[in-house]
């Protein structure tokens, strides 16, 4: 219930900001408009009139913040853990048939996604939900669409055992695999030097999580928030103003533009596909039917298809659907295009060296063989 109250607060904040955004061409306190007023003398001598910078009202930026440098905590900030986690992330031997790694569904050279509506797992099975990106996921308040995992370290222990994903039969089997690979035994010892028996299932998740905490994608939007006012084009700034004044900020705020709370898919107008009830099913409580984690919007232009079921193919469609079902409004084609222009500015990049596939340690005679069944 507190979450709903919080959402209502943001809703009113949204309404407040929408109301606040009456065009104010001669805002005295704004240094840019003062400059614009003084400019004509000089501009007159130029043949080409420079386009005046679109001014984003300060109030519109209140709810936004640049990305942090990384998502590390005291435990994860360890080069040995990160290096181990990177190897595990790419290792298909953590799947029953040695054909899937984390990178199969969350491709690190493709914005952390596979661009499939739902992903292909063990024996070509498909789950019910779209694979979200692993980029910046460590910054979310919970993991998964329904938030059933508290953090990336715990989350990483889930797909390995999921029968439609990597399909390892049980944690002991995964540990057996890891212990059969001498290079891993050494790497776990290096990453967890104080532990007597460091090759554990929990430490496997811990190391993968440590690696994921470095997947941060700063973009021009961050440069803009850090004060570089010309880091965004006028069209992108106008798109942001449209994003806020349309009410998207009710739910998409913070450094990730989401990833910070649950909300109902279909808050105003019922969501078309009600098969997956999200948190309602998880909590066995109808009050939370259709509640999902509000996804972050970083790199959103690159992570199609959209929504928990992967049913929406393009970004303009996703924006139109959001306006209709979350806000009860029909946006014009122009407004949708303008918002999409802004969303494109959220595409960032991750350090290419950080995500480079490392050499993986060799199997031994005791390493379990691939099992297609
Ligand atoms: C077969 C495809 C597949 C594989 C392999 C896979 N994942 Fe996922 N991943 C998914 C799907 C689908 C979801 C969403 C499931 C849900 O929300 O119920 C997901 C969710 C996540 C999330 C949550 C992101 C968020 O925004 O909530 C993270 C983080 C993640 N996976 C990391 C990993 C890691 C680490 C591995 C390897 C240990 C891995 N995944 C292996 C398909 C896969
Ligand atoms: C009331 C809260 C709320 C509002 C308002 C809202 N969203 Fe969302 N948004 C969500 C939720 C919840 C989802 C996940 C829906 C699902 O898949 O079930 C989502 C999903 C999205 C997605 C797809 C993300 C992905 O990874 O698949 C995009 C894009 C998006 N929103 C953009 C917008 C835009 C643009 C606006 C304004 C027009 C907006 N949202 C308004 C809550 C909201």
Closest ligand to 152 CA?
1
Q: Of residues 271 and 27, which shows the higher confidence score?
A: 271
Q: What is the pLDDT of residues 251-264, one digit of tens each?
A: 999 999 999 999 99
* C-beta of 60 in contact with ligand 2 (< 6 A): no
110, 124, 132, 151, best to mutate for ligand 1 pocket (most atoms within 8 Å of CB)? 132
Closest ligand to 113 CA?
1
Say how far apart CA 52 and CA 230 lie, in whole Å.
11
The whole-number average pLDDT for the span 85-101 is 97
Closest ligand to 247 CA?
2
**Nearest CA to 214 among 51, 371, 33, 89?**
89
Q: Is the pLDDT score of 179 beyond 50?
A: yes
Q: What is the pLDDT of residues 159-176, one digit of tens each?
A: 999 999 999 999 999 999
Query: Residue 114's Cα: distance from chain center in Å?
Result: 14
10, 295, 339, 347, best to mutate for ligand 2 pocket (most atoms within 8 Å of CB)? 295
Q: Is the pLDDT score of 213 beyond 90?
A: yes
| pLDDT given for residue 52 in this prediction | 84
Q: What is the pLDDT of residues 33-52, one digit of tens each?
A: 434 444 444 545 556 777 78
CA dihedral 191→193→199→204, nearest 10 degrees, is -30
- Cα dist from 149 to 41, 142, 152, 222, 257, whole Å: 61, 6, 8, 28, 20
The whole-number average pLDDT for the span 320-327 is 98
Question: How would residue 15 be classed by pLDDT, with cut points 50, 70 and 90?
Answer: very low
| pLDDT given for residue 62 in this prediction | 94
**Nearest CA to 321 among 332, 333, 312, 334?**
312
Would you tell me the crossing angle of helices 234-246 and 2-20 to the nearest 10 degrees? Answer: 130
Which amino acid residue places its CA nearest to atom 14 of ligand 1? 131
Which amino acid residue places its CA nearest to atom 35 of ligand 1? 156
Ligand 1 centre from 156 Cα, in Å? Answer: 8
Provide the annotated active-site residues.
165
Provide, rounded to the nearest whole percent, the portion of the chain with pLDDT above 70. Answer: 87
Q: Is the pLDDT score of 188 beyond 80?
A: yes
| pLDDT given for residue 16 in this prediction | 44
Query: Which residues have CB under 8 Å from 349's CB, separation 6+?
Result: 217, 218, 219
Q: Is the pLDDT score of 31 beyond 50?
A: no
| pLDDT given for residue 45 in this prediction | 56
Q: pTM for the whole thing?
A: 0.89
Q: What is the mean pLDDT of the chain?
A: 90
Ligand 1 centre from 151 Cα, in Å? Answer: 12
Q: What are the chain's domains?
A: 53-68+218-344 (1.10.760.10), 79-212 (1.10.760.10)
Beta strands in the chain (DSSP E): 262-264, 291-293
Q: What is the pLDDT of residues 218-259, one digit of tens each?
A: 999 999 999 999 999 999 999 999 999 999 999 999 999 999
Q: What is the pLDDT of residues 279-320, one digit of tens each?
A: 999 999 999 999 999 999 999 999 999 999 999 999 999 999
| pLDDT given for residue 49 in this prediction | 73
Query: Which residues surround ligand 1 with Cβ inside 6 Å?
Result: 100, 102, 104-106, 119, 121, 127, 129, 131-132, 134, 137, 140, 143-145, 152, 155-156, 159-160, 165-166, 208
The whole-number average pLDDT for the span 89-107 is 97
* C-beta of 298 in contact with ligand 2 (< 6 A): no
Which amino acid residue places its CA nearest to atom 12 of ligand 1? 131
* C-beta of 14 in contact with ligand 2 (< 6 A): no
Cross-strand bridge partners of residue 291: 264, 278
Q: Is the pLDDT score of 24 beyond 90?
A: no
Angle (CA) 241 303 126, round 5°: 140
| pLDDT given for residue 167 in this prediction | 94
Say how far apart CA 158 and CA 178 lie, in whole Å.
17
Q: Is the pLDDT score of 194 beyond 70?
A: yes
| DSSP type of residue 262 | E
Taking the CA of residue 101 as reference, the ligand 1 atom at the shortest distance is: 5
């Amino acid at each position: 219930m507190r979450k709903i109250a919080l959402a209502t607060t943001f809703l009113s904040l949204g309404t407040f900001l929408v109301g606040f955004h009456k065009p104010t061409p001669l805002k005295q306190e704004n240094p840019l408009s003062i400059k614009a007023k003084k400019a004509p003398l000089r501009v007159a001598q130029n043949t080409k009139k420079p386009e005046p910078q679109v001014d984003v009202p300060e109030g519109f930026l209140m709810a936004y913040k640049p990305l942090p440098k990384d998502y590390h905590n005291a435990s994860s900030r360890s080069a040995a853990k990160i290096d181990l986690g990177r190897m595990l992330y790419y290792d298909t031997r953590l799947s029953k048939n040695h054909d899937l790694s984390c990178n199969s569904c969350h491709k690190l050279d493709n914005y952390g996604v596979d661009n499939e509506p739902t992903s292909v797992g063990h024996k070509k099975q498909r789950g019910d939900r779209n694979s979200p990106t692993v980029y910046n996921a460590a910054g979310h308040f919970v993991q998964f669409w329904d938030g059933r995992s508290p953090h990336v370290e715990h989350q990483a222990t889930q797909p390995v055992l999921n029968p439609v994903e990597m399909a390892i039969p049980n944690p002991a089997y995964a540990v057996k695999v890891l212990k059969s690979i001498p290079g891993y035994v050494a790497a776990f010892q290096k990453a967890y030097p104080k532990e007597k028996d460091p090759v554990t299932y929990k430490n496997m998740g811990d190391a993968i999580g440590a690696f994921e905490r470095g997947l941060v994608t700063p973009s021009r939007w961050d440069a803009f928030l850090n004060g570089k006012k010309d880091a965004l084009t006028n069209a992108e700034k106008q798109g942001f103003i449209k994003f806020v004044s349309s009410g998207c900020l009710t739910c998409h705020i913070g450094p990730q533009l989401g990833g910070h709370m649950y909300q109902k898919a279909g808050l105003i107008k019922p969501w078309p596909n009600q098969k997956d009830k999200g948190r309602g099913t998880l909590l066995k409580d109808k009050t939370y039917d259709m509640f999902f984690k509000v996804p972050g919007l970083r790199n959103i232009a690159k992570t199609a298809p959209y929504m928990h079921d992967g049913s929406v193919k393009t970004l303009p469609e996703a924006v139109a659907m959001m306006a209709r079902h979350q806000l009860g409004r029909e946006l014009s084609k122009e407004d949708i295009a303008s918002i999409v222009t802004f969303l494109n500015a959220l595409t960032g990049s991750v350090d290419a060296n950080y995500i480079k596939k490392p050499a993986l340690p060799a199997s031994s005679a005791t390493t379990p063989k691939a099992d297609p069944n």
